[in-house]
Structure 1
Amino acid sequence: MKEYSRLFFILAVFVSTYIIFTLQLIHVSPTKKPIIKEEGNKTKVKPNEIAIVMVNELDGNDRYKQAMDTLKCYSAHYGYSFNIINLNSFPKDTINCVYKDFMFRRHCLLSNFAQKYEKRFKYILFLDGDMGVVNPLHRIEEYLPEGEEEIIFYDRTFNYEIMAGSYIFKNSLYSRNILNFFADYEYKMPTISNGRDNVALQGVFVDLIGNTKYPDEYRRCMGIYKKYKNYEYNMIFVSCMRNILEKLSEVPKEMGYQYFDGGRIKVLKKMYKKRWARDSWLSHWRFCKDDFVLHAWKAEELAKNPAFFIPTFEFNENLCKSSKFLDAWTYNKSAKVSCEEIKKDVNEWVVGAYNTHLKDLNSSRYLPI
């Protein structure tokens, strides 16, 4: 009998230890989602159900020609729909987009475009006019929302803003409503602020998902926003709001992204592997195989920085649709480097942004409002 009791005791200890260890691995808390290993995107969609959309203020802009040509070629090869919309090309669908600042109006225009083509396009990749494809071997399908995700944003690298100039969304009423809410934030923005939609987006997020959960911090952040004096005040407001968002995130801090509203809104962190774009100047206009889209691709920047391509990039529909389409991307050999070199360059900006964020966050607690 004593032997059975001893064996039972050992078994009980083993089972208890196993349960505790398993629960720790799952890392579940009442307000956090469990850590789930991502195995790649399993979203089922045809290429012609994906739209790449730019929203420009004018009909044409030579400043962005090379960036746009890369997107035309990329879309032609894979069968995506590439669309450039503006007030002239989309006049009948702008009646509700009454905003002074085009940077806010564009999100309303995009929402209207998405609604107009909701039967045709299941997913939309929105890009700033100065964004282009540097590595066409990546497919948009790698970056699409999965499961309950509706809309995906990413953090800017050199500061603590969420990027307003590019996001990917499921063409649903939920996503379109977020874009309209974003556009409407123009009416809440201080009249003297010049931060435009990039700065406002932090307030948009907090207003959408939790401005009543941390009321004292929220009032202080908005007080700083309304007292705008310069760029530094904008960044203090951004850090103030990002601190609230960190508390509202539904996944542990160590994850490479943040989830909000039951996982329907996702924000990718600075070094997360599924980011689709970054600023070109972070790495001195060099790139590696992990890069897909680069930002700040303007004619004046191309003129004063090392060229990506030799001699240049020209859209050729026949070539782009052929099996030799990669010949369109004839790189300057010095522009393509190892990903270790790129990560080193980018990480310096990440560290600098974090240190500045801590300073700005500290300032947000003491500034008079």
Structure 2
Amino acid sequence: MRRLKFCRIFKSPIFIVTAAFFLFTYIIFVVIQPHFSSELYKSYFGEPDSIITSLPIQQRSLNSSNTYDIGILLIVSEGADLSEYQFAINTLKCYSKLHHYGFYIEWVNDTWKELCGQKQFMFIRHCIVSKLLHRHEWTLFLDADVAVINPSRLIDDFVEQNKDVADIMFYDRFFNWEIAAGSYLAKNSSYSKEFLIKFANIEFILPGSCHGSDNGAIHWLFVEQFFGNHTTQLNSNDCYAIWGISYDSLSAFEACCRLIMGETRIFHDPSGKGKIKLIPKGEGWMRDGWISDSRWSLDSDFMLHGWKHSNEMPKIEEANAWNRASIRLKFASWYRTIANPTFDLNLCETGKITWKWWSSLMISKNELQNILTKKRQTTRQKFFYSQAQIPEYLKNL
């Protein structure tokens, strides 16, 4: 009798409609729009954000022995829409004026295409950098979507620490085991120019499938240039065989390269011509801002990467909760941590500019380190997984 009663309940229209409603709600709020409830809460109960203004920014001394001839260089593709990166670029322009760094935006054009020969933007840009190193003693190459979050930090500090150590400094990305290909600090040396040309020319030996563009290519260059086929367990040919099999094999290819590289941080060219330094996670001049959900620390951060306008989270008054939740689902969505609406370049040059930040996104150094430590642990586990796939890929070749 009790079973019959339960069966009747389960079959009743009210139960079916109620269950369907809860299932629909679960799918909407948990599966399709997991951020909707939090964004809805912000719409009605969110506290107004406050603004923190920087102290007067001390400009770089041009007479100090620790001051170097440095330029900042962006390479943009032919026909690129700079409005996608305009706010990030404005921070770089102001920062350059403030500290008297050279600042250049170089467009890929027919002249560069003829001079360099590469067809793909991601590779020709490294050729262009090599041709423009002569402008300064040191050049910081950046992606166009990089913003200066802490203008008191100086590029000179990285030069001072490494000027006798390496011709080019790369850094490790935080959310995976990649060497960042979109930024490096390069000395105006013959070796730097030669290395960057080799980097650009990898376009001509890319595998036919999913190769990851220059993000994948930089790993091949490191193992081929500095290790060749002289390693005992894995060698560069093994890694190349994995490279380009599929999109999934890209992570295994990069893990293969990192296994060969080991914990090496200073890479000596076998010819003796020069050296490359690879800066560990969290110790470079920039990181991906989205890995900490745009939270940052004045004591740790310098520049943040990934400030594309199309991925920017709108303010509460600019979009409804559903639209904000939809944007949060995008890869690398970000909040504008800087509250300055514009940057007056005259104020930047005279040193009277101040940076303004939204207080809700500013956290302590310890809080940020806790976030990054968790990200590091997650990345470590993913690396182990990709590393374990290497034998399977090699077995099937």
Check whether TM > 0.5. Answer: yes
Q: CA deviation at 1:317?
A: 1.2
For normalisation by structure 1, the TM-score amounts to 0.78
- Answering whether residue 119 of structure 2 is matched by residue 100 of structure 1, we say yes
Q: CA deviation at 1:100?
A: 2.3
Residue 271 to residue 77, structure 1, CA distance change in 2 (3 Å): closer
1:303 aligns with 313
Partner amino acid for 2:311? E
Q: CA deviation at 1:345?
A: 1.3
2:72 aligns with 52
- Output the CA distance in 2 between the equivalents of 1:204 and 1:280: 27
2:362 aligns with 336
Other structure's SS at 2:114 match: coil
1:72 aligns with 93
1:220 to 238, 249, 252: 238
- Answering whether residue 357 of structure 2 is matched by residue 365 of structure 1, we say no
Q: Deviations over 1:285-336 (max 9, x none)?
A: 11111200100011122234433133x441211211233222xx21111121
1:322 aligns with 350
Q: Deviations over 1:62-92 (max 9, x none)?
A: 010000000000000110011010124xx54
Q: CA deviation at 1:220?
A: 1.8
Other structure's SS at 2:392 match: coil
1:131 aligns with 146
1:33 aligns with none
1:86 aligns with 107
Bigger Rg, structure 1 or 2: 2
Does the Cα contact within 8 Å between 1:309 and 1:332 map onto a contact in 2? yes
- Output the CA distance in 1 between the equivalents of 2:205 and 2:335: 41
Provide structure 1 residue ranges, at least 5 long, that are not aligned to the other structure. 1-42, 250-257
Q: Which runs of 4+ in 1 moved over 6 A?
A: none
Partner amino acid for 1:54? L
For this pair of structures, how many residues does the alignment match? 304
- Output the CA distance in 1 between the equivalents of 2:197 and 2:203: 11
1:293 to 282, 286, 303: 303
- Answering whether residue 382 of structure 2 is matched by residue 356 of structure 1, we say yes
2:277 to 262, 266, 277: 266
Partner amino acid for 1:306? Y
Q: Deviations over 1:14-55 (max 9, x none)?
A: xxxxxxxxxxxxxxxxxxxxxxxxxxxxx95645x2110011
1:148 to 141, 159, 165: 165
2:49 aligns with none
Q: CA deviation at 1:240?
A: 0.3
Does the Cα contact within 8 Å between 1:70 and 1:313 map onto a contact in 2? no
- Output the CA distance in 2 between the equivalents of 1:60 and 1:79: 27
Does the Cα contact within 8 Å between 1:236 and 1:360 map onto a contact in 2? yes
Q: CA deviation at 1:141?
A: 0.4
- Output the CA distance in 1 between the equivalents of 2:358 and 2:379: 30
Partner amino acid for 1:123? W
Does the Cα contact within 8 Å between 1:307 and 1:335 map onto a contact in 2? no
Q: Aligned-pair RMSD on alpha carbons?
A: 1.9
- Output the CA distance in 1 between the equivalents of 2:258 and 2:65: 33
Partner amino acid for 1:351? Q
Other structure's SS at 1:108 match: helix
Q: % of aligned pairs identical?
A: 31
Does the Cα contact within 8 Å between 2:149 and 2:338 map onto a contact in 1? no
- Answering whether residue 303 of structure 2 is matched by residue 283 of structure 1, we say no
Partner amino acid for 1:69? N
- Output the CA distance in 2 between the equivalents of 1:194 and 1:207: 16
- Output the CA distance in 2 between the equivalents of 1:239 and 1:320: 43
2:317 aligns with none
- Output the CA distance in 2 between the equivalents of 1:207 and 1:170: 22
Does the Cα contact within 8 Å between 1:94 and 1:109 map onto a contact in 2? no
Residue 174 to residue 235, structure 1, CA distance change in 2 (3 Å): same
Q: CA deviation at 1:176?
A: 0.9
Other structure's SS at 1:95 match: helix
Does the Cα contact within 8 Å between 2:167 and 2:192 map onto a contact in 1? yes
Does the Cα contact within 8 Å between 2:98 and 2:348 map onto a contact in 1? yes
- Output the CA distance in 1 between the equivalents of 2:310 and 2:367: 25
1:9 aligns with none
Provide structure 2 residue ranges, at least 5 long, that are not aligned to the other structure. 1-63, 315-333
Partner amino acid for 1:270? K
Q: CA deviation at 1:236?
A: 0.3
Does the Cα contact within 8 Å between 1:225 and 1:233 map onto a contact in 2? yes
Other structure's SS at 2:312 match: helix
- Output the CA distance in 1 between the equivalents of 2:67 and 2:364: 32
Residue 78 to residue 220, structure 1, CA distance change in 2 (3 Å): same
Does the Cα contact within 8 Å between 2:344 and 2:353 map onto a contact in 1? no
- Output the CA distance in 2 between the equivalents of 1:302 and 1:66: 11
Other structure's SS at 1:178 match: helix
- Output the CA distance in 2 between the equivalents of 1:180 and 1:44: 31
Other structure's SS at 1:286 match: coil
Q: Deviations over 1:187-245 (max 9, x none)?
A: 1111222411001110011111111212662222111114x211x21000000011001
Aligned pairs for 1:135-214 within 5 A: 135-144=150-159, 145-214=162-231
